[in-house]
Amino acid sequence: MLLLVTETSSELSRMFGIRKPRLVSSQPAPSPSPSSSPSSQTFGTRYPLRTDAVVWRGLPVLEGTNLVTSGRRYGGWVQTLKGVATLPTEFILPRIEVPYRAELPASMQAAEARHATDPAAADAIAAEQWGYYFYLGGGKSTLDRFPKAREINRASSSLRMQMINEVIEDVVGAEKSDMSVLDFACNWGGMAIDMAHRGFRSVTAFDFKEDNIRRAGMLNAYMGTDVQLDVANAYDLPAHYQEGFDVVLNLGLLYHVTDPVRLVQLTHALTRKVAVFDTLCHKEPFSGFITAYLNEDQIKRSGMGEQQIELHPTYRGLVDLIHFAGFRNLVEVAPIIGPKYPDREKEHYYVGHRRTIIAFK
Ligand SMILES: C[S@@+](CC[C@H](N)C(=O)[O-])C[C@H]1O[C@@H](n2cnc3c(N)ncnc32)[C@H](O)[C@@H]1O
């Protein structure tokens, strides 16, 4: 019997080599069995050296030990397991649901007035290479050079501002005008600029790539916001950060680092009241991490980390890690994404491969 297996998550699919729906056998995979042809070599003087790999026979996608094909093997495992049972999206925390609204946040709508006074600045920003959407007014955006990505990114940037920034603004209420915000690894700076526009007292944001901070600086100046932007590595932050921040955003970073425990502990140390963790997550029901290997071209992109290897948390791993760092109360934010959302099946939040957790001290 054959089952149709559909993989829906684009970024994970690319990374782990699962591209299209395909047919797999619903029969359980055969048990691993070693080859019967041991080598005649020895290890040292005494130990016969077996060089036969133990693999799941009949499923070549699972074979081998090469790092470059590691993601493909993991993808093969996921497909094979899906032939037995589809992994559901688990919820083990209390959660709030945030319905997506197809409208730009007020921070982006404010760009219309900026464009009216300085259209040349909007053109200069639009000519840069961006990975994220921000509306610049006059019908222009940061992603005009990449029209295919523009609509999807427009929706996902708005969605994230609704489910992260708007929720935090609502939770802290009138106190916001007295609160400081830190945005870890801000890349484009859009989330920080949106927080500044919402009226938080001060917003600081950093990223370890100079070029990201340069572009974020252009957007910050254009939007007339006063975000303090620093070039810094998360593991080596400016000394004055140690005073802490009322709100800390740790978005899209956890799965790019190789020391996630320390990153979450650092976030805890810098948080005075509340932090938000937003990360890709795997669905396997164990608490841990899955390695992902990036090739040389992938690691050069503006959104990537320092190492060609990444540690992606499972959902349970993420929850355990945040508790371990010392956060006491966790609430998950789960968006409701209707059928009109562009390319909904590829939206990580929709398919449960990206999770957002608000963590209180
Ligand atoms: C996927 S992007 C997320 C951007 C933004 N936080 C968001 O969620 O929209 C990851 C960012 O992390 C930055 N980054 C990765 N490792 C870092 C580190 N050790 N210290 C500072 N920034 C880092 C990258 O330069 C990149 O801009």
- Largest Cα–Cα separation, the chain: 81
Which residue is associated with the tokens 């688990």? 90
Flag whether pLDDT at 198 surpasses 60.
yes
Asked if residue 282 lies in contact with residue 353, where contact means CB atoms within 8 angstroms, the answer is yes
Reported confidence tier of residue 57, pLDDT bands at 50, 70, 90: low
- CA–CA separation, 181 vs 178, rounded Å? 10
CATH of 95-360, one of 3.40.50.300, 1.10.490.10, 3.40.50.620, 3.40.50.150: 3.40.50.150
Q: Which residue has the higher pLDDT, 52 or 3?
A: 52
Asked if residue 236 lies in contact with residue 263, where contact means CB atoms within 8 angstroms, the answer is no
Q: What separation in Å is there between the alpha carbon of 334 and the centre of ligand 1?
A: 22
Q: What separation in Å is there between the alpha carbon of 253 and the centre of ligand 1?
A: 5
- Report the percent of the chain where pLDDT is more than 90: 71
**What are the boundaries of each domain within the chain?**
1-27+56-86, 95-360
Phi-psi category of residue 189: left, alpha or beta, with phi > 0 → left and psi -120 to 50 → alpha: left
Asked if residue 257 lies in contact with residue 305, where contact means CB atoms within 8 angstroms, the answer is yes
pLDDT of 84-124, one tens digit each?
777 889 999 999 999 999 999 999 999 999 999 999 999 99
pLDDT of 138-194, one tens digit each?
999 999 988 889 999 999 999 999 999 999 999 999 999 999 999 999 999 999 999
Beta strand 271-280 with 245-251 is: parallel
Average pLDDT estimate for 13-28: 44
Ligand 1, pocket residues at CB < 6 Å: 132, 185-187, 191, 207-209, 212, 233-235, 251-253, 256-257, 302-303, 305-306
What's the predicted TM-score (pTM) here? 0.86
Give the range among 65-69, 123-127, 328-332 with minimum mean pLDDT.
65-69
Asked if residue 159 lies in contact with residue 335, where contact means CB atoms within 8 angstroms, the answer is yes
Ligand 1 atom at minimal distance to the Cα of residue 191: 9
Going along the chain, which residue ranges are E strands?
Answer: 2-5, 22-25, 42-43, 47-48, 95-99, 135-137, 140-141, 180-184, 202-207, 228-231, 245-251, 271-280, 289-293, 309-313, 329-336, 354-360
- CA–CA separation, 239 vs 212, rounded Å? 22
Flag whether pLDDT at 302 surpasses 60.
yes
Q: What separation in Å is there between the alpha carbon of 49 and the centre of ligand 1?
A: 44
pLDDT of 229-267, one tens digit each?
999 999 999 999 999 999 999 999 999 999 999 999 999
Reported confidence tier of residue 13, pLDDT bands at 50, 70, 90: low
